[in-house]
Structure 1
Amino acid sequence: MTAPLAAALLPLALLAPAASPVSVVEADFDPATAFVPPAAISYASDLVPYGAHVRIVTDRSVPGRTVLTLKASGLAPGHEFPAHLHTGRCGADPASSGPHYQDEVDPVQPSTDPAYANERNELRLALRTDGRGRGSATTVVGWQPRPGEARSLVLHAGTPAGPHAAGDRVACVRLDG
């Protein structure tokens, strides 16, 4: 390559790559007290053992739509984990992940109004594990999260009230790097 051509191409090489419409987060669950802040935190090692694995693929390639796929292995077998996008980052305190992310934010928090707290306004999944602790779930919503506002995906302990009823926060996965 000639020097003038290389000099002309250098500015192109320095450009940041365009944000991909598909993001992948893959991590093993660790305790919140790990020396290096983990990408995936377990708050209940009986349901989400340390070393259990999670993979989250978020596809925003179609304007006005988000497809999220959650795959996990090593979790408690035969269990249902309601999962939701949350606004806060994962931390040592399970509450640090904040409230559920909502496309249209309920002005009254915590949000309990069914006009806001529903499957059209929140990204919800129900991850069911098989006898070996593996499971996957996919959901599609007709909107895309606002940049920087959906910071984590939280797995809740299931409750007998139904597939999307959230119990205690048992794990958190950091989505914003």
Structure 2
Amino acid sequence: MSFAVSLLAASMAVLSPMGGAHGGADVSAVFAAPSGDVLRAVTFDEAAVPAGARVTVTERTSQDGTRIHLRLRGIQPGRTFGAHVHMNPCGTRPEDAGAHYQHVKDPEQPSTDPEYANPRNEVWLDFTTDRQGDGQSSASVGWRFRSGEARSVVIHEHATETAPGRAGMAGARLACVNVPFK
């Protein structure tokens, strides 16, 4: 049985809702079980994020910074999830996506210091699904990604924690979508 992922749409340059021309990425994909193929979107927990669920990630950049919008359809209903931009692309294992992208990198990894692991220095996209299993979130930051250092969005088990020693943690990695952030 093939677990091919269908890429529904991708475009690179549109008018920014932040104002002015920009660069950015739009990715729509269908989650599939992990395989040896290069994947657009992969699920590691089909009870939470079933194969066949849909995801869209939109990036808009301007001189003022970056806005990311995440939208999911058909995942576990009535649940809160964490979601973050990660440094590496998705792979066949949850850890393949690497650490959270940080504008100012924490010298101590994994980063759990609220000085670094916070929604101003990372992109946090936590969301709660409705009764149909649909959810969405947006985040805006006053900076742009360094080229090639932001490659995916990971959906996590629970909302992102903020306490010292736990900041940025959101539990297990349930799913991942590759995004060519600019």
TM range, normalised to the smaller chain? Answer: 0.7 to 0.9
Higher helix share: 1
- Deviation (angstroms), 1:165: 4.9
Counterpart-to-counterpart distance in 2, 1:137 and 1:160: 13
Give the RMSD, CA atoms, in angstroms: 1.9
Task: Give the counterpart letter for 2:80 in structure 1.
Answer: E
- Deviation (angstroms), 1:113: 1.6
Q: Which residue of 1 aligns with 2:176?
A: 172
Q: Which residue of 1 aligns with 2:52?
A: 51
Does the residue aligned with 1:101 lie in a helix, a strand or coil? coil
Normalised to the residue count of structure 1, the TM-score between the two structures is 0.82
- Deviation (angstroms), 1:176: 2.5
Query: What is the number of equivalent residue pairs in this alignment?
Result: 156
Counterpart-to-counterpart distance in 1, 2:120 and 2:66: 12
The change in CA–CA distance for 1:65 and 1:91 in structure 2 (over 3 A counts) is same
The change in CA–CA distance for 1:176 and 1:81 in structure 2 (over 3 A counts) is same
- Deviation (angstroms), 1:58: 0.4
Higher strand share: 1
List runs of 5+ in structure 1 lacking aligned partners: 1-18
Q: Which residue of 2 aligns with 1:29?
A: 31
Counterpart-to-counterpart distance in 1, 2:139 and 2:113: 22
- Deviation (angstroms), 1:115: 1.1
Which has the higher mean CA deviation after the structures are superposed, 167-176 or 19-28?
19-28
Indicate if the aligned counterparts of 2:41 and 2:177 stay in contact, CA closer than 8 A. Answer: yes
- Deviation (angstroms), 1:75: 0.4
- Deviation (angstroms), 1:36: 3.4
- Deviation (angstroms), 1:71: 0.7
The change in CA–CA distance for 1:165 and 1:80 in structure 2 (over 3 A counts) is farther
Counterpart-to-counterpart distance in 2, 1:127 and 1:168: 15
Normalised to the residue count of structure 2, the TM-score between the two structures is 0.80
Counterpart-to-counterpart distance in 1, 2:69 and 2:28: 12
Deviations along 1:14-72, whole A, 9 cap, x unmatched?
A: xxxxx631310100000112x63220000000000000000011000x21411111111
Within a 5 Å distance, the mapping from 1:34-113 to structure 2 comes to 36-60=37-61, 62-113=62-113
**Sequence identity (%):** 39
Task: Give the counterpart letter for 1:95 in structure 2.
Answer: E
Counterpart-to-counterpart distance in 2, 1:161 and 1:155: 14
Q: Which residue of 2 aligns with 1:15?
A: none
